[in-house]
Amino acid sequence: MKMKSWFSVVCLSMGLLGASATAQADDDITLGRTIVFENTDYGAPIPLLVCRRVDAIQVKADRNMYLRKVVATFKNGDTKTFRFYRNIKEDDTTDWRELPYKRCVKKLEVFGESKNSSAGVRVYGRT
């Protein structure tokens, strides 16, 4: 009976050890995805189901587009506007825009225009 208990403890410990190493190695997370259309003045919202704590954001475009800004809404209702005003080529990313400390992001809104009919946009966060 003791051998079975010892074996289960060893298996559980190895599983937890592997899970913690995986969580620590993954610093960049995908906060959300949206589609930006051509000739629009309104933002493309990305509602987050759970609050994600990040200290920086980065934007990646699936097609050529012009990115104006990204507005992040935090858990306490405050907002932060990250201004880009630049063209992003297909499969290119912006630089990391940092926050002063880790904040809990609840919603994102992407403002920009697609060079084609539409462009997919991914917003990444750094934990």
Tell me the per-residue pLDDT of 71-91, one tens digit each, with 9 for 90 and over. 999 999 999 999 999 999 989
Please indicate, yes or no, if residue 25 is contained in any of the structural domains: no
Tokens encoding 34: 């949206």
Please indicate, yes or no, if residue 58 is contained in any of the structural domains: yes
Q: What total number of domains does the chain contain?
A: 1
Tokens encoding 127: 């934990």
Please indicate, yes or no, if residue 75 is contained in any of the structural domains: yes
Q: Which of 65, 118, 57 is nearest to 92 (CA)?
A: 65
The reported pTM is: 0.73
52 φ/ψ angles, rounded to the nearest 5 degrees:
-110, 125
Residue carrying the six token digits 């063209």: 87
List per-residue pLDDT tens for the chain, 127 residues long.
565 565 555 545 555 444 433 444 458 888 999 988 887 778 889 988 899 999 999 999 999 999 999 999 999 999 999 999 999 998 999 999 999 999 999 999 999 998 878 889 999 999 8
Mean pLDDT score of the chain, rounded to an integer?
Answer: 82
Bridge partner list, 88: 65
Bridge partner list, 35: 120
What is the extent of the structural domain holding 103?
34-126
